[in-house]
A = this chain, B = another copy of it.
Amino acid sequence: MPSNERRYVIRLGCPDRTGIVARISGFLADAGGWIVEAAYHTDPATNWFFTRQEVRADSIGFGVDELRERFAAVAGELSPAADWSVIDTGVRRRVVILVSKEGHCLYDLLGRVHSGELDVDVRAVVGNHADLAPITRAHGIPFHHVPFPADPDGKAAAFAELRDLVDAHTPDAIVLARFMQVVPAQLCADWAGRALNIHHSFLPSFIGARPYHQAHKRGVKLIGATCHYVTADLDQGPIVEQNVIRVGHADSVADMVRKGRDIEKVVLARGLRAHLEGRILLHGNKTVVF
C-alpha cells in the first residue's frame, strides 16, 4: 500500500455529545469507506469534539464533491456549529514560502520537496532579501524579491506587493521560513489558519526580537523552536510543534544560533507536514494535532 495512495481526509469539530462517532462511522461504513486512520478527541474544558478520518478514495463509490455534499448533511445534523472539511490527497497542495537572509529552513524544505518526501507544489518563494534566489531558482521555483524599507509607508507598500504575490497562488500554506518581518494584523486575519511561522525560541519564552540573545542572557540550559500559526498577537498564535536542544555555559550566542537552526528546520517541517495532511484542528488559540 503506497503512501501516495489517494485518500479523502474528513475533519470535523463540533460540540460533544454521545453518538457522534457512531454517526460518522456509520456514514462511512454505508459509503463503503475503508478507514486507514481515525482519531478522536474531546476537550473537556470547552466540551468540543474533534475527529479526523482518513479513508481510501477507491473504497468510496462516488467522487469527492458528492462526499462533501453528503457529509455536509451529516455534519449539519450533528450540530449547526460544526466546523468541517474534506481534503482530497489526489490534489497537490500549493505552498508559498517567505524568506529573508537565513537559508537553513528553505534548504531543508527544498530538500524534502526534491526527494519527494514533501509532495507539494511550491509555487513561489518571496524574500525581502535576494540572497536565496539562486538556490530557489536552481529548483525551478520562481523567486520574487520584495525589498522592505524601514519607513512605515514603504513597508505597507511592500506588504501589499507581497500579499498580491502570495494570494495569486491561493496557497494551502504560507510558510514563514525565518521571514523576520512582523505581519500586519489584516494580513494575519486574511491568512488565518494557513500561515505557519517558525519562532526561534521555546514559546512563550523569549517572545519578539533576538530570542537567542535573551536566552543567553538568562542562562537557560535548553534552547527551543516553536512552529505556530501567525496571528495579530506577535508570537502568540496557536502552537503546532516545539522542540529543544541542550546548551551550556560554553555556548556563545553564535553557538546557540547555530545549534538552534537544527531544531528550527525540523520543527517547521513537521508543522508544515501536519498542516498539509490536515492533522491540525484549530480551536480558540489551541491546536489538536492528530
Contact = CB atoms under 8 A, between A and B. Distances in A.
Interface of A: 1, 3, 18-19, 21-23, 25-26, 28-29, 32-44, 59, 102-104, 107-108, 110-112, 114-115, 117, 134-135, 138, 202-206, 218-222, 224, 238-244, 246, 248-250, 252, 254, 258, 261-262, 266, 269, 285-289
Nearest to A290: B249
A40 B38 CA distance: 6
Contacts of A262: 266, 269
15 contacts: A22-B29, A104-B112, A107-B110, A117-B261, A134-B138, A203-B205, A203-B218, A218-B285, A221-B239, A222-B242, A222-B243, A222-B244, A248-B289, A249-B289, A262-B266
Contacts of A40: 35, 37-38
B34 A18 contact: yes
Contacts of A38: 21, 40
Contacts of A240: 221
A26 B33 contact: no
Contacts of A266: 262, 266
Given A18-B33, A35-B21, A107-B110, A115 B135 contact: no
Contacts of A203: 205, 218, 220
Given A107-B108, A221-B242, A243-B222, A249 B25 contact: no
A114 B134 CA distance: 11
A237 to B, nearest CB: 10
Contact of A218 (B206, B218, B239): B239
A287 B219 contact: yes
Given A21-B38, A41-B250, 4 more contacts: A114-B135, A202-B224, A222-B244, A249-B286
Contacts of A21: 21, 25, 28-29, 35, 38
A158 to B, nearest CB: 24
Nearest to A106: B111
A51 B181 CA distance: 42
Contacts of A224: 202, 222
Nearest to A50: B249
A211 B206 CA distance: 17
A219 B286 CA distance: 5
